[in-house]
Amino acid sequence: MRLSSLATILALGALQAVATPTQPDLAPRATPTVYLCGDSTMANRGANDGATDGWGQYFGTYSTVTVVNKAIGGRSARSYWNEGRFQEVANLVKSGDIVVIEFGHNDGGSPRSNDNGRSACPGTGTETCTSDKTGEVVYTFVFYVIQAAKLMTAKGATVILSSQTPNNLWETGTFVGGAPRFVGYQLTAQKALSSSSVTFVDHFQAVANTYQKIGNSATNALYPRDHTHTSPQGASLVAQAFTQAIYQSMNGTTSLKNYIKNPPTVY
């Protein structure tokens, strides 16, 4: 090879090296966005009666994440699914985000008798019912929750199945801490999914522990309208109970634990 040709090749190589940009250092990933899916006990302004509030908007106070509250009053797992609200959240989430799913207050009743569009079919698996109003095939609470969780994890999100908040457990003047069946159904769904991306938090029990600690009068003061919806003060307390359950790994470690700041102690 002539020296002139060799020099040309070397020169071209040098130009290519200069022209190829170096890969920039990747910036650390920002904290994830947490999407909240639930009913009025989680939603902003609660029951929209001017006196109640949902716990979702208070959670950001105790965490470093960005919180997007997608909870809507009056919804059940079934109606949230049928209205496309789970799909709406799935369209927003990015890999690494976290979705909290909490239903139960509006999921009772029977689709077979005067169907209200919210009731799930009784059962914990693939049982189905037919709505006496629309002829719709209705699935179980567990089924709807599982399908919702799969939507989110397919986008790379992690999911926390959170049990419903309790009603006023001191309403009768005596503490009654028994949990509704939908609390257990959330755990059933988490176990059925058998995925490290889906965890369970017993929010019901965390709040029940708090109510037992603060007693009759203090708990009753948190329910200004009915036995389900809390005052803003109550909503904040319910958010604190959720935060403490996450921070203390009450039901095992969740994807939210590393984002808790100034963890409260309410039970």
pLDDT tens, 111-162?
Answer: 999 999 999 999 999 999 999 999 999 999 999 999 999 999 999 999 999 9
Give the mean model confidence (pLDDT) for residues 93-106. 98
Give the mean model confidence (pLDDT) for residues 88-108. 98
Residue-range domains of the chain with CATH: 28-259 (3.40.50.1110)
Say if CB 241 and CB 266 are below 8 A apart: yes
Q: Using pLDDT thresholds of 50, 70 and 90, give the confidence band for residue 172.
A: very high
Query: Among all chains, which residue has been given the structure tokens 């994440």?
Result: 65
Catalytic residue among 40, 119, 163, 255, which? 40
Say if CB 251 and CB 242 are below 8 A apart: no
Active site residue 229: yes
pLDDT at position 252: 98
Catalytic residue among 79, 119, 229, 255, which? 229
Question: What token pair was written down for 110?
Answer: 């029977």
pLDDT at position 20: 35
pLDDT at position 29: 52
Q: How far apart are CA 201 and CA 215, in angstroms?
A: 23
pTM for this structure?
0.89
Q: How far apart are CA 137 and CA 63, in angstroms?
A: 40
Query: Among all chains, which residue has been given the structure tokens 């929750």?
Result: 145
Catalytic residue among 132, 226, 227, 249, which? 226
Residues 48-96 pLDDT 10s: 999 999 999 999 999 999 999 999 999 999 999 999 999 999 999 999 9
pLDDT at position 59: 97
Largest CA distance in the chain: 101
pLDDT at position 30: 77
CA quadruple 108, 41, 219, 254: dihedral positive or negative? positive
Question: What token pair was written down for 13?
Answer: 């190589």
Whether the per-residue pLDDT at 7 is higher than 70: the answer is no
H or E stretch at 81: helix 77-82
